[in-house]
C-alpha cells in the first residue's frame, strides 16, 4: 500500500484514539473526580464493575475499535521510527511483516476476549 495512505490512516486512527482513549482515561483515572460529580463508579477496576462494563454492548464495540486503531497507530508509529534507521530493504520488509503479524495476532486475541466476556453468563 502507498506509504502516504498509511500515514493518513495513522492520523485518522490518532483522532479516533483521542476520543476513545479520552473516555477510557476519564473512566479509569479521573474516576474519583467523576464520582464526586455523580458519574461512573467508585472503583472502576473492581472485578464486578469490570465484568458489568464488559457485558455492555457500547463498551464491547468501542473496546474493539480502540484495540484496532491503537494497535495500528502504535505499531505504524514504531515502524516509522525503525524506518528512519535507513536499513536494507530486506530488513525493512521483515520488520513490516513482523509488526503486521504481531498486530493481527493481538487484535484477534483482544477481540476474542472482548466478545467472549460480553457473551459470558
**Given the rule CB under 8 A, which residues bind another protein?**
11, 14-15, 18, 21-22, 25, 29-33, 36, 42-43, 45, 47-48, 50-51, 54, 67, 70-71, 74-75, 77-78, 81, 84-86, 88-89, 106, 109-110, 112-113, 116-117
- Which residue has cell 495476532? 105
CB of 57 to another protein, least distance (A): 17
Taking the C-alpha atoms of residue 72 and residue 75, their distance in angstroms, rounded to an integer, is: 5
Q: How many helices (H) and strands (E) does the chain have?
A: 5, 0
- Our CB check for another protein shows the closer of 98 and 112 to be 112
CB of 40 to another protein, least distance (A): 12
Q: Report long-range pairs for 49-52 (Cβ below 8 Å, ≥24 apart).
A: 51/117, 51/120
- Our CB check for another protein shows the closer of 5 and 47 to be 47
> Is residue 67 a contact partner of residue 111, using CB atoms and an 8 Å limit?
yes
CB of 18 to another protein, least distance (A): 6
Alpha helices, DSSP H, located in 37-88:
47-54, 57-83
CB of 13 to another protein, least distance (A): 11
Amino acid at each position: 500500500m502507498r506509504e502516504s495512505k498509511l500515514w493518513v490512516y495513522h492520523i485518522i486512527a490518532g483522532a479516533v484514539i483521542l476520543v476513545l482513549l479520552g473516555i477510557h482515561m476519564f473512566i479509569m483515572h479521573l474516576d474519583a473526580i467523576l464520582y464526586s460529580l455523580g458519574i461512573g463508579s467508585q472503583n472502576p477496576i473492581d472485578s464486578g464493575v469490570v465484568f458489568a462494563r464488559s457485558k455492555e454492548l457500547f463498551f464491547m464495540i468501542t473496546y474493539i475499535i480502540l484495540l484496532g486503531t491503537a494497535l495500528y497507530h502504535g505499531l505504524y508509529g514504531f515502524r516509522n521510527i525503525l524506518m528512519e534507521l535507513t536499513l536494507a530493504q530486506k530488513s525493512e520488509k521483515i520488520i513490516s511483516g513482523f509488526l503486521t503479524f504481531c498486530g493481527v495476532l493481538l487484535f484477534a486475541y483482544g477481540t476474542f476476549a472482548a466478545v467472549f466476556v460480553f457473551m459470558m453468563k
